[in-house]
Structure 1
Amino acid sequence: MKRFNRSYLKCLHWRGPQRCTLLLLSGCFILILLSFFLLPSPDVYSEFGPRSQLVSNKFESLLFELIPPRLESRVDCSAIINGNMQEIDKAKQVSMHLKNTHEELTTESYLELTSNCLEFLEIRGYLKSSLSRDEFEFSIAYSILITEDVEMAERLLRAIYRPQNYYCIHVDSKSDAIYKVFLAIASCFNNVFIPERRLKMIWGTFSILEAELICMETLWPFARWKYFINLTGKEFPLKTNLDIVKVLQSLNGANDIHANIRETYTERWRYHFHYPPPWFRPVKGSVHIAASRSFVDFVLHNETAAKILSWVKTLPKFHDEVFFSTLNHNPHLMVPGSYTGDLDTDEITKPHVSRYKVWNTSSHYFCATNRWEKYICILTTGDLPLMLRSIHLFANKFYLQEDRIVVSCLEEWIYNATKDGFLETRQINISYYENLDIVKNQIRIPITS
């Protein structure tokens, strides 16, 4: 009874009385139904393993129908997403108020909660089921690079977490408190990994690319995953896990890696950087990628990739924005899934579907608050209507100290969309992605293990 009281008090602190009471009632109802779920039914995948895990997955499915969607009660998120300016203005006022309330979750709070993994998983609401055969059979590998804001990073992990996926979290060597939190969080999972080798990550330097390569090496031994997506702790999904799976399946082995080609770029390399060997063309793009397992195999194990990496190391900056883009846009190198089409294309012909990012250098940008960091819009509640109508999988970048409501509304939308997808009342239209230029024009090499 004492343990129950302590758990309930923690739940009240983290979730509030209404959600905790509903969780309690749902739990009681589940116990009543326990006898109906002692044996696995034929439609449950045998790959899940022991019977206890089968039962757990059936309970997760039941909980999904019993527990209502994750709600942001302070504003009407649905109205905001539909562009209701009155509700958007209200959200701005709420966000301003929250800046002074110190609502954020601290490293100390996380360390206390993760001392009991079962409580952590329950109170923070991590999904423990794959939810669908498509998702179970299509594992995704993620890297997450974190420098600050433990709560934002943990909420990102919670939003994308599924038991069939794999996660590598690299925490900046300057952030010891956050590192301890994610070590504790990782101990609650068997598919979340924290590399022992930590780097001091500095924007624009080789350390960013090196951290990505460390995570690729960490994730490579797990042969089930089909695609690799790299994230930072300041990003958030715009699609459900099932949506992301469907989009990646539609890419059919192609890599979604951005390229920024300009006519004068060759001369720019000559005068500002170390000019490359004549057997490849340097291409600058974005660090954000969604790449096939075969592409990662090439990055880690191919001699050509190693030679290009050696040259990239000689550059003064932006190594992460050059290495992946160069590999993906030199088709004669025969990199799996790389692009064989016209490099001089625009965002309409060859969009970067992995990331929603608003640059202030764009002639058609919209940034709701007109606040920027390193030329990139800090996304807030007013950006939600455009974000969630976009083709993109993830958005960059968010700061909870600027706007907590935008992330809460995204969580509500994702939860509802996930539930609707599970109940088969919602389905993403993948025909757009199937007809992308990168899908039609790619180096097709079978995925290796």
Structure 2
Amino acid sequence: MSHRPPHSSRLLARRSWPEARFLADVLRTETVGGGLLLLGAVLALVWANSPWRAAYAALGEWVPWPGGAALHLDLGLAAWAADGLLAIFFFVVGLELKREFVAGDLRDPRRAALPVVAAVGGMVVPALIYLAVTASAGGAGLRGWAIPTATDIAFALAVLAVIGSHLPQGLRAFLLTLAVVDDLLAITVIAVFYTADFRPLPLLGALLPIALFALLVQRRRTWWWALIPLAVAAWVLVHASGVHATVAGVLLGFTVPVLAGRNGEPGLAERLEHRWRPISAGLAVPVFAFFAAGVSLVDVDLGAVVRDPVVLGVAGGLVLGKVIGVFGSTFLLARFTRAELDEEITWADLVGLALLAGIGFTVSLLIGELAFGPGSPEDARVKAAVLAGSLISAALAAVVLLRRNRVHRRISERESRDDDGDGIPDVYQERPA
């Protein structure tokens, strides 16, 4: 009889019941947010290609608060959505990262290895494909190498919710953790490679409101009248430094304590995430999508667009690079560590999930704007490529995962049984030998 490693050493093993409940809450919020994101993108595409497309462009360029040039805050609505509202999204990302590193899968190096390796592979391979495709053209096109490296968690989870209602929890947890690590790497890329006109003094000044914010949250002082002004001050100073202002959101999220209090109440990071995630998923990301996804195809030579190296590089990186990087790195990790997949998961499931990771939207569009500038010809092509690559990845993932979903239907029905009536599915409870 072949020897199987213990359950804890298997890849994509089931999470504990508290972790499963937390994951379910996150999935519900992100799934609704993904639907709103899609709605915002569709509205933008329809308006940008309608007879009233000039009004759409004018709305994005409208400056609601003129006179802020001294602090670089004379921004149009589209820029406020990218720099301001997305800071809320990245604040939630910071809370997620802190929680994963302190109390989640990333706390255990053995469990963290898989999502970290998969995320790195899922970024390196798309970037290499993009560079290989655009190398012949050279020039400014090479600046977009990071565009196909990001996975949009809200969009991907929305698709997964529609097509994979019975897929194992381990797959969903893996996608969520993979996307969290992916976001961390994307934030690092933005801060290091897409910071123009760096000014150190405002960045140093931002440390003061961030430190005061950290002092208050570490002492569990959640006074909104103090925390929100401090967060805004940190955002303004980071924005003035030339570093993308969303980095302020991540830094603030990192300061929030995760562990539960003395009386067993949820940690502050979990409470703030519960409060701000609906705002991020339901408002910040959909509004950004509305302003970022409106690419006009009127009077555009579609043949030239399809042949454009930037378009081919972005779409190829998302569709091919992500699945090769995520699946390939996972397979190699299992091969060299001799670990096995959890007994409920097959490599076919992983192929579908790796295809799903090719859905890049929010951060990909943001990096496109940072690389080529809003409103540039390259930026419009990036939007078209991100939309096309994401839709192709979603369609291919649907073909694979719909078939796998039928296979897992019976398993999920067994998992939901609670024969002893204690409110905890029996599959999460240990049974005597």
Short-chain TM bin: under 0.3
TM-score (ref. length: structure 2): 0.27
Q: Which has the higher strand share?
A: 1
Query: Which structure's relative contact order is higher, taking Cα pairs within 8 Å and 6+ residues apart?
Result: 2
TM-score (ref. length: structure 1): 0.26
Q: Which has the higher helix share?
A: 2
